[in-house]
Chain A
């Protein structure tokens, strides 16, 4: 005989279905990636394109296994030059951004110069860097730096330049100096812009280091792909691209995590309020 309590308990409990529910949103990035590779594989097989034009993903993975030692070594080299250049860009970008955002005159004077500098294709600078520093790691680091510091500068300067006038009035009426306003309001305020710009900057840094390695280095994924290409080893070229994509995704995710971690308040509120 069942007691009334157990009857009640079993009838009101929801069926334990939730535990088996698949979280499609979390799974989507992996499914879509797999889907892309599958479609690619099938497409190449059906069309019968040779490996020297477009290799199948399976052939690329084969190449990754086959050439793992040089791929690993060169991937680390590229990651190293990229991250180093990026770190210099963070320090310099933060510094120049604060300097530019400090006063309207400096902002007006330096902004056109910055725009002009940013318009120069950085690949055109690599030969100059080679004249100055020789080929290898240094020009790669510097190209990564030069290409990635601009978005950081612009974002930090924007954050500083958009302080609400009321906030400034309230503080100035209390006798606040420019430095006080910058420390208490300007810099914390520009941090969401700064961390947001890191995601853009890290991807650009990869572009810079690989361009430089391709043109002027004996190391790195850029150089590896350039020499693989001259040997018609197209699967190895694609293997290099895949490694670059992977490094890019990992670094981007790291920056996104950092952004969320450091400036959570900006994602839960509107800045203007």
Chain B
């Protein structure tokens, strides 16, 4: 059974005559899979994220996550956005521990098992290359470092599903490629399903097992492409003809989807 099943979902904002953001949306994501969602801007990618996490409840159709129909926020997800939204009055470590103060399963254990959780946070910091930065304040870190910390915060409560909404959009090309590798390694080492919403087609092909192309508004899934490249992938595949062919094919497909709008 897939971890996430979205079946024939319609979502309209702002009352009966409001904008139809997605219509007839169908998407299935297996446990442990890495799915990238691409499409023209305004195609309802963010709506897809909010539907999956239970921040929005669809007007028709069903969203099932981990065997349960979504009717309220599901706490098995972690989220990270383009804006790292670190709280400036907390140190990086305290920022990362924030989800544990919220999630029901952890919040009552946090005080007693503080040391255990701090160790876990420090281990995560090390994985993303921020070892020893835990007691710095977020505004003492660069944009790329904040985004790394943001990933740690999304992962600290061991979510089964990680939702990333253009997490690397605001970063320079080198930092972005570095963070692709961080995400790749996280996915390989942890038992986590990842949904990545992105505008960057190279990013989607490099990271994902499956690339989902959405149409212009109202969004629906136009096609799904299995990425054939073997894991672990190195950055050199970015320059291989087969990789570029796939990126180009996706590009023309999205151009068609835009023109159809």
Contacts and interface: CB of A to CB of B under 8 A. Distances in A.
Interface of A: 164, 166-167, 169-176, 180, 184-185, 188-189, 191, 263, 265-266, 268-271, 273
A12 to B, nearest CB: 35
A167 B146 CA distance: 14
B88 A184 contact: no
B236 interface: no
B102 A268 contact: no
B116 interface: no
B83 A166 contact: yes
Contact of B50 (A169, A171, A174, A180): A169
Given A188-B87, A273-B88, A173 B138 contact: no
Interface of B: 50, 53-55, 72-75, 77, 79-81, 83-89, 98-99, 101-104, 137-139, 146, 153-154, 157, 163
A173 B53 contact: yes
A230 to B, nearest CB: 53
Given A265-B89, A265-B137, A270-B139, A184 B98 contact: yes
Nearest to A170: B79
B157 A265 contact: no
B157 A170 contact: no
Contacts of B89: 188-189, 191, 263, 265-266
Contacts of B101: 180, 184
A265 B95 CA distance: 14
Contacts of B88: 265-266, 269, 271, 273
A172 B163 CA distance: 14
Nearest to B100: A174
Nearest to A169: B55
26 contacts: A164-B85, A169-B55, A170-B79, A170-B153, A170-B154, A171-B99, A173-B53, A173-B54, A173-B55, A173-B163, A174-B75, A174-B103, A175-B73, A180-B101, A184-B87, A185-B87, A189-B89, A265-B88, A265-B137, A265-B139, A269-B88, A269-B137, A269-B138, A271-B88, A273-B88, A273-B139
